Structure 1
């Protein structure tokens, strides 16, 4: 199986690349400069310069793009639109490293994590930008996309425990009543979904055990 990981030099991208390589998959890092991931192959190119031909040979493309500053937050939408446009009508799957802020907190799906009183104000612009990108992605029936939201507490340097639980559109808690997952365990879930392809045109979520 051939997988491309966009922004493979990032924290999430590096762990996803390592997980995929360790499983014996054919992994290519899509990076703007020197490849610092475990992927043995590299495509040195900016995300916005990628073409349909660049991605045609891959079974799955994992989008680990992230933007954090006020002026770059709209790129969550524009970068995802670009990837959708060049993958439109193809069999290549697009898997997106998503956010937790847009997960619903009630059965009616009228309230989200980011709406809660304890959600930090500093992260609200990011949650809004990622939520908008997800809503735009939902309208794409011409792309085989999957959006994977992490738990609310997404731990950059958390341990790789090797286990996770799969959820859907609503915030899911583990047996301890926590919504937490490490980047390393999230990487396991991402590669599992890339290999199995069970949730095409769906948003799913994962929580550590």
Structure 2
């Protein structure tokens, strides 16, 4: 498939690029500074300036954008921009989401970001990513999947190739932890790219 990764030089974007490249897909890294990526196929452009024409040739666009501290509202702004560009097209949008919007109770009344233990430093990102998810859920005529990692999203963890798939409620692994490595998260995202099992849904990923 033809896949574009927005933020391909970020922590998650680089791992996604590596996993999908290893599966033989045709990948384009969308970055503001081409000098910051070694990938050979690059679209050097600000994500907020991407047009329908820029994105029309892709089967899948992955939004792995990471907002700088103090600019967390850009998760919402870029999300709304991508909805506008992709709505009514066959191109699928996959979003690297956060864990803050996952519910911690089966009744789905309390989100992780609203618990006393949630770090204040991560609240702006969590709240803005949750709003991005709300915007997607209220959008029609768009193929999207919002993919939340576990609460502990480990950039240094190993690739086991195994994971558990969940949905809107925070799920624990066999060790009683909400944990997933970037590499196993990338495996799950690549599987969703290839199999398209969760159209217009939020899913979450935790290790086994």
Q: Distance between the aligned counterparts of 1:57 and 1:169, measured in 2? A: 31
Equivalence for 2:175: 176
Deviation (angstroms), 1:143: 1.1
RMSD: 1.2
Provide the secondary structure at the position in 1 that maps to 2:204.
strand
1:100 match: secondary structure = coil
Residue ranges of structure 2 left out of the alignment (5+ in a row): none
Is 1:157 aligned to 2:156, yes or no? yes
1:21 & 1:35 partners in 2: Cα distance? 19
Per the alignment, residue 108 of structure 2 pairs with: 109
Change (3 A) 1:28 1:148: same
* Alpha-carbon distance in 2 for matches of 1:106, 1:154: 20
TM-score, normalised to structure 1, is 0.96
SS in 2 for 1:108: coil
Alignment coverage as a number of residue pairs: 208
Q: 1:67 and 2:67 equivalent? A: yes
Structure 1 distance, partners of 2:183, 2:206, is: 12
Displacement after TM superposition at 1:7 (Å): 0.7
CA distance in 2, matches of 1:98, 1:66: 10
Comparing 104-113 with 15-24, which one deviates more in the overlay? 104-113
- Paired residues of 1:141 and 1:201 also in contact (CA < 8 A): no
Q: Which residue of 2 aligns with 1:198?
A: 197
Q: Specify every segment of 5 or more residues in structure 1 that has no aligned partner in the other structure, as ranges.
A: none
